[in-house]
Amino acid sequence: MKLTINEVEHDLDIDTRTSLLDVCRDHLGLTGSKKGCDHGQCGACTMLVNGRRINSCLTLAVMHEGDVITTIEGLGNPDDLHPMQEAFLHHDGFQCGYCTPGQIVSAVGMLSEVADGWPSHVSADVKNGTSLSGDEIRERMSGNICRCSAYPNIVDAIETASAKMKETA
Amino acid sequence: MRPFEYTRASDVAEAGRLTGRFIAGGTNLLDLMKLEVETPAKLVDITRLPLRDIEATDDGGLRIGALVSNSDLAADSRIRNDYEVLSRAVLAGASGQLRNKATTGGNLLQRTRCGYFYETSQPCNKRDPGSGCGAIGGFNRIHAILGVSEHCIATHPSDMAVAMRALDAKVETQKADGSTRILALDDFYRLPGDTPDVENALEAGELITGVRLPKPVSGSHRYRKVRDRASYAFALISVAAVVRMDGGTIADARLALGGMAPMPWRDTAVEKALIGQEPSMATFEKAADILLADAKGQGENDFKIPLARRTLKAVLADATKGA
Ligand SMILES: Cc1cc2nc3c(=O)[nH]c(=O)nc-3n(C[C@H](O)[C@H](O)[C@H](O)COP(=O)(O)OP(=O)(O)OC[C@H]3O[C@@H](n4cnc5c(N)ncnc54)[C@H](O)[C@@H]3O)c2cc1C
Ligand code: SF4
Ligand code: FES
Ligand code: FES
Mean pLDDT of A69-94: 97
The ipTM estimated for the assembled molecules is: 0.98
pLDDT for A130 = 81
pTM, to two decimals? 0.98
Residue from B29, B42, B52, B97 whose CB has the most chain A CBs within 10 Å, to mutate: B97
Of B88, B94, B231, the CB nearest to A126: B88
Q: Indicate whether A90 pLDDT > 60.
A: yes
Q: Quick check: B82 contacting A, CB < 8 Å?
A: no
Minimal C-alpha gap between B193 and chain A (Å): 30
Residues B238, B228 contacting (CB under 8 angstroms): no
Position B291 scores a pLDDT of 98
- Cβ separation of B3 and A17 shorter than 8 Å? yes
Asked if the Cβ–Cβ distance from B84 to A127 is below 8 Å, we say yes
The CATH number, out of the four listed (3.90.1150.10, 3.40.50.1220, 3.40.718.10, 3.10.20.30), of the domain defined by the range A2-75? 3.10.20.30
Alpha-carbon gap: B38 to the closest alpha carbon of chain A (Å): 13
User: Residue type for B242, please?
Assistant: V
Mark yes or no for CB contact B95/A142 under 8 Å: yes
**Residue among B83, B100, B118, B238 with most chain A CBs within 10 A, to mutate:** B100
How far, in Å, are A162, B131, B297 from residue B269 at the CA level? 50, 36, 21
| CATH topology agreement for domains A2-75 and A83-168 | no
Buried b (16+ CB within 10 A) or exposed e, B78-106: ebbebbbbbbbbbbbbbbbbbbbbbbbbb
The C-alpha of B102 sits at a distance from chain A's nearest C-alpha, in angstroms, of 10
Pairing of strands A68-70, B237-246: unpaired
User: Measured between alpha carbons, how far is B257 from A77 in angstroms, rounded to an integer?
Assistant: 48
Q: Which residues of chain B have pLDDT under 50?
A: none
- Overall residue count recorded for chain B in this entry: 323
Summarised one tens digit per residue, pLDDT across range A1-58 is 999 999 999 999 999 999 999 999 999 999 999 999 999 999 999 999 999 999 999 9
**Residue of B230, B239, B83, B80 lying closest to B159 (CA atoms):** B239
Name the band, by pLDDT with cuts 50, 70 and 90, for residue A128.
confident
**Nearest-by-Cβ selection for B34 from A39, A53, A138:** A39
Identify the DSSP state of B219.
S
Site residues for ligand 4, CB cut-off 6 Å: A 94-100, 146-148, 150
- CB of B137 within 8 Å of a chain A CB? The answer is no
Q: What is the pLDDT, as a whole number, of residue A169?
A: 73
Binding site membership of B208 for ligand 1 (Cβ less than 6 Å): yes
C-beta atoms surrounding B286 within 10 Å: 15
pLDDT above 60 for A82: yes
Q: Specify the pLDDT at position B26.
A: 98
CATH for A83-168 is 1.10.150.120
- CA distances to A18, B103, B237, B238 from B231, in Å: 30, 20, 14, 13
| A109 — pLDDT class (breaks 50, 70, 90) | very high
How large is the angle between the packed helices B281-292 and B304-320, nearest 10 degrees?
Answer: 140
How far apart CA A6 and CA A75 sit, in angstroms, is 8
Gyration radius of chain B's alpha carbons: 19
Give tens-digit pLDDT for B74-110: 999 999 999 999 999 999 999 999 999 999 999 999 9
What share of chain A has pLDDT > 90, as a percent? Answer: 95
Residue A91: which pLDDT band, with cuts at 50, 70 and 90?
A: very high
| Contact (CB<8Å) B80/A126 | yes
When scoring A18, A33, A52 by the number of chain B Cβ atoms within 10 A, the one with the most, hence best to mutate, is A52
The answer for residues whose C-beta is within 8 angstroms of residue B322's C-beta and 6 or more apart is: none
Taking the CA atoms of B24, A44, A114 and A5 in sequence, report the sign of the dihedral they define. Answer: negative
How close, in Å, is residue B273 to chain A by CA atoms? 30
Contact B199, B264 (CB under 8 A): no
Nearest ligand, CA A88: 4
State the ligand closest to the CA atom of A38: 3
pLDDT of residue B234: 97
pLDDT at site B273: 98
Amino acid A168: pLDDT:
83
Which residue ranges make up each domain of chain A? Answer: 2-75, 83-168
